[in-house]
Amino acid sequence: MPPEARRSQLLDTARSMIESDGLQPFTMEALARTASVSSSLVYNYFSSRLALSREQLAMSREVAAKRLEAENFESIGDRDFNGAFQFRRSVAE
């Protein structure tokens, strides 16, 4: 798998895990198991849980900004922002 596709896969998997189970039980090792890759591969892309969280937050902001440009604010569902809020809270803790 190309590196950018793998990075996206890991970010998407992490987002899904955190949305379903919350941030507390999330670990890099659990991400590796869920994504069917080695822990070392996960750490090759993200040096820590915080680094992964920051990148996920940046991506969520980018997606939200693009959607806001394309549509009016009311048409965007709450689910689109859940990941961003989860990560923002985790970084603040």
Average pLDDT per consecutive 10 residues, the chain (93 residues; last block may be shorter): 93 92 91 96 95 88 79 56 59 57
Given this model, what pLDDT does residue 60 score? 82
Given this model, what pLDDT does residue 82 score? 59
- DSSP codes, 17-86: HHHHH-STT--HHHHHHHHTS-HHHHHHH-SSHHHHHHHHHHHHHHHHHHHHHHS-GGGS-THHHHHHHH
| Fold category of 3-92 in CATH | Tetracycline Repressor; domain 2 (1.10.357)
Given this model, what pLDDT does residue 92 score? 57
Given this model, what pLDDT does residue 3 score? 93
